[in-house]
Copies of this chain bind each other. A is one copy, B any other.
């Protein structure tokens, strides 16, 4: 198909497609002449993947390019694709700030308890430790104990993610699934947790908490 039809099929404007071509996020089509190229369904899918990375995952063009390159490097082990996708979506302060040694040690206990084998550079180690510090900082260090329940659920979700990867027909589809699962999975879980929280709040605090006397003070 020509670029105009690619635009119609993908819902993405021609100038934006040309930008992605220049930025090598989108592979060039087969050259028909000096000014025309032929695109196929793989280009439509790739455009949707780019938009998912940028719009849903909040990635920069540079980060999206790194992820796309990992998807395209079929010689790379799947763990490399995962690592690249994880690193790309872990650029916020949460994953880069230095946590306290105590928090790092607390996360290491959880990792050990769950029997997880993980490389030192996994961004989740830093991210989880920074949340541990934040719980302590707001005067609720006991909330850190939630980490074991969270870890068990995270393992269930990760097993489902990897099972979906294993069901894919080829390496290219596996790599796409890894990226989609990593980037979109955070958003999916966060959304479902909001729904479940409301249900369980109503279930466990049906009339909700009773008002306390106005002269009662809490430090």
Residues of B near A151 (CB, < 8 A) are 192, 196
A172-B82 in contact (CB<8A): no
Those of A186-219 within 8 Å (CB) of chain B: 186-205, 207-209, 211-212, 214, 216, 218-219
A194 touches B150 (CB 8 A): no
Q: Contact residue range for chain A?
A: 35 or more
Q: Is A177 an interface residue (CB 8 A)?
A: yes
Give Cα distance in the complex from A204 to B168, angstroms. Answer: 14
Tell me how far the C-beta of A92 lies from the nearest C-beta in chain B, rounded to whole angstroms. 8
Q: State the Cβ distance, A141 to closest chain B Cβ, in Å.
A: 11
Residue A15 CB within 8 A of the other chain? no
A180 on the B face (CB < 8 A): yes
Q: For the complex, give the distance between the alpha carbons of A80 and B186 in Å.
A: 25
Contact B192 A185 (CB under 8 A): no
Contacts of A166 in B (CB 8 A): 204
Cβ-based interface call for A66 (8 A): no
Seed contacts A114-B196, A152-B156, A155-B200; 14 additional CB < 8 Å A-B pairs = A48-B137, A86-B194, A116-B198, A122-B198, A124-B195, A124-B198, A128-B191, A128-B192, A131-B187, A131-B191, A135-B184, A138-B180, A147-B192, A161-B200
Can you offer 5 A-B residue contacts whose CB atoms are under 8 A?
Answer: A52-B137, A125-B191, A143-B184, A146-B160, A182-B197
Q: List the 4 closest A-B pairs by CB distance, nearest first.
A: A77-B208, A127-B191, A124-B194, A172-B218
Q: Which A residues lie at the B interface, using CB under 8 A?
A: 40-42, 44-45, 48-49, 51-52, 55-56, 58, 74-75, 77-80, 82-83, 86, 90, 92-95, 110-111, 114-119, 122-128, 130-131, 134-135, 137-140, 142-143, 145-147, 149-162, 164, 166-167, 170-174, 176-177, 180-182, 184-205, 207-209, 211-212, 214, 216, 218-219
